[in-house]
Amino acid sequence: MKNWFQKLGVKLAKGMEGRYGFDELSMCMNMAGIVLIFLAYIPYMQWMSIAAWVMLIWAVMRAMSRNHTKRREELNKYYGIKKKTTDKFSLWKTIWKERKTHVFFKCKNCGAVLRVPKGRGDIVVTCPKCKSKIDKHT
């Protein structure tokens, strides 16, 4: 039995030569597909099983692809989206944690999030990104 598994492993390794393989995006798609399969058991949500199977098949097709440049482009887009969402959640976490001691607002010129202490009255804040001056009441 051990010999059979070793042969199977060698055959799988040879079959994956030159293929892209599983990366973080493929694993995320697999996990999302599994979650959608479980959600499809909720009444009136059976349509999610179709989306789940599409996601699972797409993840396997990405792994079996030989077009490495296209797969890396997709992975870089995924990393960009992931970074934006994690940055946004960490900002929300910081705003919630410091809500009693600081006021957060966006710069009107560049959109940077600025933090000033509460209870200082009327102050002039200089944006560190675009150097514009903003009058703010805290």
pLDDT for the residue 112: 87
Q: Which of 16-20, 69-73, 122-126 has the highest mean pLDDT?
A: 69-73
pLDDT at residue 1 above 90? no
CA atoms within 13 A on the CB side of 116: 21
**Position 10 confidence tier, pLDDT thresholds 50, 70, 90:** confident
pLDDT digits (tens, 9 = 90+) for 15-48: 778 888 889 999 999 999 999 999 999 888 888 8
